[in-house]
Copies of this chain bind each other. A is one copy, B any other.
Amino acid sequence: MKGGSAIENGEASRAATARAGGVNRGLSIFDFILRLVALIGTLGSAISMGTTDETLPFFTQFIRFKAEYNDLPSFTFFVIANSIVAAYLVLTLPLSIFHIVRSGSRVSRIILILLDAAMLALLTAGASAAAAIVYLAHKGNARANWFAICQQFNSFCERISGSLIGSFGGIVVFILLIFLSSVALSRR
């Protein structure tokens, strides 16, 4: 009787493990897709910001009016942060595939959550610093006597504003990734 119930328990727990494994596999596939989405977003942001420049059609003898992303340190940081995060995402894609195959792994998931959180902070820092400067470029600031440079560099401003989108999309995806990993970890 006792032995029988132990065997039944064993079978029940094995079935539960198999079920949890199936759900975890689904979560891992979703994780893989989200990483691809974030990769496209951050890579797009980095390229779009990095290739932006505008030369105004008038110039004096000494000065050519030209705007590039590396005129402003925040934009340089934005490009670097997005590139690092994109590279990180490429490197973690194999790990994501590994989680689809072996859905029970624990240590690799914990490390992934830690690194994801650090990358979330890096990406947010880059996107937010760039957004603060983009806002300033659009509106200027009367108290600090900073002029709205977007009045001259129109298409430059449109490009840099647009390139923020991919980055902010990436932030949302990273929060989702951490959430998914924690769910997968709890169902192990």
Q: Which residues of A contact B (CB under 8 A)?
A: 2-3, 6-7, 9, 67, 71-74, 106, 109-110, 113-114, 117-118, 120-121, 124-133, 135-137, 139, 141, 143-147, 149, 171, 174-175, 178-179, 181-183, 185-186, 188
Q: Is the interface of A mostly helix, strand, loop or mixed?
A: helix
Work out how many copies of this chain go into the complex. Answer: 2
Sample (10) of A-B pairs whose CB atoms are under 8 Å apart: A2-B2, A3-B3, A72-B143, A117-B178, A120-B124, A121-B174, A125-B128, A129-B131, A137-B144, A146-B146
How far is A72 from B133 in the complex, measured between Cα atoms in Å? 11
Query: In the complex, are the beta carbons of A113 and B71 less than 8 A apart?
Result: no
